Amino acid sequence: MTHRLEGKVALVTGAGSGIGRATALALAREGARVVAAGRRGAPLEETARMAAERGGQVVAHAADVTREGDVEAVVRFTLETFGRLDVGVNAAGGTFGGGPTHTLDTACFREWIDGYLVSAFLSTKHQVGAMLKSGGGSVINVGTFVGYTKAMPGTSGYAAAKTGLIGLTRTVAAEYAPQGIRANVLVSGGADTPMFRSWNASEEQRSAAARLHALQRVADPEEIANAAVFLASGEASFVTGSVFTVDGGLSLV
């Protein structure tokens, strides 16, 4: 524990599992006080318990980040609880229907956009508003290789949302750099999360996913979280508007 984030306050969405949970724990490990947000309260409380066991401070707050009122409420809760906001990590998402583009239901496509892009927009919007009051900060939007370094059939909704996230984040970086707010996209390769396992249910599918990476494996969520810690910290003070790729060499293969 190096306490790189001592005195900082972070809000992590999607913190009930996977990369979001790993990031909340990693930020707390480095001394940040963390609000863990997500739809379901019980997994968030488990994240808070895990952090406490390791000497960190995480407070759970249920929120549906596709709803602006919920996002406003969790940001307000963060400010009321800790007095400021320095770091926002947006890792919330979900699983919706898929299939070839010509068969994809428009309502399903919109679910992907709402779940991954609109949610990140709302979170970023209100996090930036809080950071302007705190004198700066770091927004980290969690992206993916899908549609960015690799196009994968049957993922048009997911790919559209996640590549749209890049344009959103780079625009925010340009808008708020003068106010000391940095914004970056953290693009991960495959990571061994509950969602990854739901999409790759068999050992054969998981092995095939591993082979997409030059390192011939998928990441532990903590490996992605470590990159988020860097982007949140002062060590990344000159990094903004970047697409920070942590993909095990997937883009090389």
**Which residues participate in catalysis according to the annotation?**
158
| Residue 227 one-letter amino acid | A
Q: Which two tokens stand for residue 166?
A: 């890049």
Question: What are the b/e assignments for 95-127, b being 16+ CB within 10 Å?
Answer: ebebeeeeebeeeebebbbbbbbbbbbbbbebb
- Could you tell me which residues come within 8 angstroms of residue 222 by beta carbon, excluding any fewer than 6 positions away? 22, 25, 26
Cα separation, 199 vs 205, in Å, equals: 9
Beta carbons of 54 and 39 less than 8 angstroms apart: no
Helices then strands, counting H and E runs in the chain, come out as 9, 7
- Could you tell me which residues come within 8 angstroms of residue 177 by beta carbon, excluding any fewer than 6 positions away? 240, 241
Cα separation, 128 vs 7, in Å, equals: 18
